[in-house]
Structure 1
Amino acid sequence: MLLLLGSLVILTLVLGRSFQYFFQNFTLGIGLFPSGTAIYGMPIAAGAILVALIFDFHTAIIFSFIVSLLTGLWTGEPLYPVYAFVGSLVGAFSIMKCKRRTDILRSGVYVSIINVFTVIGILLFTDRLFDEYAPIALLYAATSGIVVSAVVSLVLPAIEYFFKVTTDITLLELLDLNQPIMKNLLIAAPGTYHHSVIVGNLVEAVAEDIGVNPLLARVSAYYHDIGKMKMPEYFVENQKGTVSRHDRITPHMSSMILMAHVKEGVEIAREYKLPEPIKDIIQQHHGTCLMTYFYQKARDSENGEPIEENYRYQGPKPQSRVAALVMLADAVEAASRVLQNTTPARIESLVDTIVNHIFLDGQLDECELTLKDISIIKKKFTYVLTGILHKRIEYPGFNFEEKKKEKIVPGEEVTLNNKNIRIEVPSQDEYPNKKPPEKGKGQPQKSDPSVKSAR
């Protein structure tokens, strides 16, 4: 990151010098004087905006101060560092809540406005507001914001590609559920899709409280299980029938299929060119957890004790707090599906059990998650899951659990004991003259016990 920061300092100075040379020759070419006004068109604020997008606002303040002093060395204008620093500061501040790439243009507008006011102040201080210097200087100050927006829009994608950094703008684009990869997940594995959305809600609810980028956490949750698209029918959330495909294969084979979804997810992420942090979280979101169900199934079915390593994910363990947060949310959401009576107390107990199990298994040993963070995560997960798994009152007059009795239609085929049988029920039209027997007629008479005894 220091290399990137140093490169941004050099890039800002080179771009400023290049645009000064261009504007100065442009001014001379069209016959405008004086030519010294070209310094107010330099896009110095572009560097501060890039630093704010890639790093943070505090780093952008220090960057702006250093670059402003350096630019004052060649401009020959004593008050120019003030002009450059104020414009850079406003540009960095206005891009803090960036939600889309068009916000870069808005930031450029703010830079133009503040640059105009700063130039007016400088001209008043130097007593040049009403001479021929002022109009050209104000013109360059007003257009500088447009140049800043253009430079940032062109340079930012190149920096993301060459330095492998991920900005909030890229994450916001990936957050769109209309992305091709999310559409494919919805079609191929609808259960996994909805599971991922709920995991995203869980991690975003707690991310800011533990100092994690909520945008990165939510996007990572959306994409963490994309590897299940390859064989969706082997994962319970995508199974439509009551018979599981794992019933027909060995527990060891089942564990290999489950492990494969992590590797497949990383390959799909590479294919769609997802950012590196998301690829890392896909690979780490199960850590080296034990697949308890299949391990226990192997212990019950095999003669000897199965090798535990064969039933553990290959890892690595979560290396960041975001990866650990996605791991915890993934496990808690999956476990919540087995709760029958979803009371707040039972949900709290489930969250506490799952999080403690992962902690005691050593899965959080290699990340920076603290015990305080874990306590906050438990509370937030319980709160969000209680809202998701809420109860409803019963609708009067409806019994949704009772099955309707099927009507038997004459001539219809029904299945009985795996055989198709045609039901033939004679209708009254087929026997118009036949009446049902009256009571007591056509029925065998019961013998009188008193007569029998007399005989």
Structure 2
Amino acid sequence: MREKRNGKRKELKETLQKKPEIPRIYIRKLPLVLLFGLLTSVAVSKSLSIQYIAGGFIIAGILFSIFYRDIIRYKPDYIKNYRMLLLLGLLLIFTVTTGKMFQYFFQKFTIGLGTVPFGTAIYGMPIAAGAILVTLIFDFHTAIIFSFTVSLLTGLWAETPLYPVYAFVGSLVGAFSVMRCKRRSDILRAGIYVSGANILTLTGILLFSGPFNPGYASTAFMYAIASGIVVSAVVSLVLPAIETIFKVTTDITLLELLDLNHPLMKNLMITAPGTYHHSIIVGTLVEAVAEDIGVNPLLARVSAYYHDIGKMKMPEYFVENQTGAVSRHERITPHMSSMILAAHVKDGVEIAREYGLPEPVIEILQQHHGTRLMTYFYEKAKDRGDGEPHEEDYRYHGPKPQSRVAALVMLADAVEAASRVLKDPTPGRIESMVDKIINHIFIDGQLEECELTLRDISMIKKKFTYILTGILHKRIDYPGFDFGEKAEKKEKKEARGRESHGNSDKKPATGGSYRERAPYTGAKKGR
């Protein structure tokens, strides 16, 4: 026993003394950070001498290291995505270079006027454009650190000691103003806010710096206003190019796709009305829980709206669009049915690319079924007695969800479909159904490649139950209206009459929808 205790103590001591390992991915991306530091040092240097570049590299390296450490701590997903990390570095260099370029242009303009003070041109640099772009493409937190880094870098060539304060305030105001950006025209409003912030900050700097010179101040204010106008122009021109080249999706693009008058949504409503209604409800479910688990609610809702667009090619083979008494699947083999169901994912990807949907939405569309088993048709194939069917033939082709948004859409899609077969949707039954469906997906291993935590899953269950309880609630009867009860009683009376005449040995005509005849058995039917 003593040896065992000593062994445990030794093991604990070694564990405590062991230095934490730095993940290799952070080390591999470090040369890229140093390269950006070198390029930035060249951009901010007053000359191309070794002395200036070396000094700029040291300062830029320190600032970039702080920036990089913050990303590792708070936004590790950006480190894993080489394209996004590259874009962030390029935006840093672009902001500094564009600032110097406009400073040079305004200086030449000042010299041409002759009577305008030369040093005021620096207040026209559109430094805030970088912070606005980072907010729209990344997030506000990253924009704050970005603004801090760029503002200090501008101090390396600005003749005015307090210019970094001017640049930082303008950048923060610009980032704030686009946090809830809903239209591309809102970028113009952001430029106006930047101009206002520039004027206020510049007033404070001029008063703090010594004797107030009205001539110098009026020219500086002119450039401060011009800076906001240039910021709007730069962002409006550069943002579409970044979205195209780097395949990134901003909230502005997502808001445009949320419009139900979008050609693709209108086509879905006409071609597959049941799928359209299903997609709207799935969108409501995912948006309700998205912020709680820390994912983009706009991306989640847009992905939910378009996740089943592949069903437009063969809408009549999906239960929510069937209006006849007999399902199309009754006339074909279970294996053929499974192939039709699986094909809607591939068809959806093709349609999405045809309409130019963003890549993140297409990826979620491709992953929203993962490799789940089409249980209904698999069990139906086993009941045919033609031998044991191969389970892989009745699974979707994947891939499994790679992000929490994709996993959220998968769960909402399955839960909404299952809610349609509840005979008496009481709150207790809805909660039980949600719990079973999500547990089934979890046990099947569909969530093992995304970063969805058990805490996230618990919150998803609670929110889905709450939303579906509100959607599926009962209503009181309308007095004076029978809504078809007489016709139903007549049908029952005729059926009893046929039975009394000896027709009870004949099979009744198949009635009801495919969903009514096929209880949920762990996977979606006809979806």
TM-score of Structure 1 vs Structure 2, range by shorter chain = 0.7 to 0.9
Post-superposition shift, 1:169?
A: 0.8
Matched letter for residue 247 of structure 1: E
Q: 2:239 aligns with which of 137, 156, 170?
A: 156
The CA distance in 1 between the partners of 2:210 and 2:222, in whole Å, is 18
Determine the C-alpha separation between the residues in 2 that align with 1:346 and 1:391: 13
Deviation for aligned residue 1:175: 0.8
TM-score (norm 1): 0.87
Cα distance in 2 for residues equivalent to 1:265 and 1:129: 65
Asked if 1:200 corresponds to 2:200, the answer is no
Structure 2 CA distance for aligned equivalents of residues 37 and 208 of structure 1: 44
Which residue is 1:408 aligned to? none
Match of 1:259 among 306, 329, 342: 342
- Aligned match of 2:61: none
CA distance in 1 between counterparts of 2:307 and 2:470 reads 23
1:131: Cα distance to partner?
Answer: 3.9
Q: Deviations over 1:83-122 (max 9, x none)?
A: 1111111111221122221221221111111100111111
- Contact residue 120 and residue 129 of structure 1 kept, 8 A: no
CA-atom RMSD in angstroms? 1.5
Letter in 2 for 1:224: H
Q: Which of 288, 292, 295 pairs up with 2:371? A: 288
Query: What is the correspondence of 1:226-265 to structure 2 with a 5 Å cutoff?
Result: 226-265=309-348
Q: Partner of 2:157 in structure 1?
A: 74
Aligned partner of 1:388 among 444, 464, 471: 471
User: Aligned partner of 2:272: which letter?
Assistant: A
What SS is found at the alignment partner of 2:485? Answer: coil
CA distance, structure 2, for counterparts of residue 282 and residue 401 of structure 1? 40
Q: Are 1:117 and 2:200 matched, yes or no? A: yes
- Could you tell me how far apart the structure 1 residues matched to 2:463 and 2:151 are? 44
Tell me the TM-score normalized by structure 2: 0.75
Instruction: State how many pairs are aligned.
Output: 407
Which of the two has higher C-alpha Rg? Answer: 1
Match of 1:184 in 2: 267
Aligned to 1:338: 421
Which of the pair is proportionally richer in helix? Answer: 2
1-structure distance, mates of 2:212, 2:194: 21
Q: Deviations over 1:314-366 (max 9, x none)?
A: 10111111011100100010011111111111111111111111111111111
Distance in structure 2 (CA, Å) of the matches to 1:143 and 1:281: 42
Q: How far apart, CA to CA, are the structure 2 residues paired with 1:364 and 1:33? A: 64
On the 8 A contact 1:336/1:350 being kept in 2, the answer is yes
Q: Tell me by how many angstroms 1:370 deviates.
A: 1.1
Cα deviation 1:218-241 (Å, max 9, x = unaligned): 000000000001000100101111
CA distance in 2, matches of 1:67, 1:359: 44
Counterparts of 1:252-401 in structure 2, within 5 Å, are: 252-401=335-484
Question: Whole-Å Cα distance in 1 between the matches of residues 257 and 312 of structure 2?
Answer: 18
| Structure 1 counterpart of 2:423, one-letter code | Q
Which moves more between the two structures, 396-405 or 381-390? Answer: 396-405
After superposition, the C-alpha distances for 1:138-160 in whole angstroms (9 at most, x for unaligned) are: 11112211111111111111111
Equivalent position amino acid for 1:112 in 2: S
Runs of 4 or more consecutive aligned structure 1 residues displaced over 6 Å after TM superposition: none
Question: Which amino acid in the other structure matches residue 386 of structure 1?
Answer: T
| Residue in structure 2 matched with residue 28 of structure 1 by the alignment | 111
- Aligned residues of 1:128 and 1:134 also touching (Cα < 8 A): no
Q: Which runs of 5+ in 2 are unaligned?
A: 1-83, 489-527
Deviation of residue 128 (structure 1)? Answer: 4.5
Q: Deviations over 1:13-34 (max 9, x none)?
A: 1111111111111222233321
Shift of 1:292: 0.7
For 1:178 and 1:27, locate their aligned partners in 2 and report how far apart those are by CA, in whole Å. Answer: 49
Consecutive unaligned residues in structure 1, runs of 5 or more: 406-455
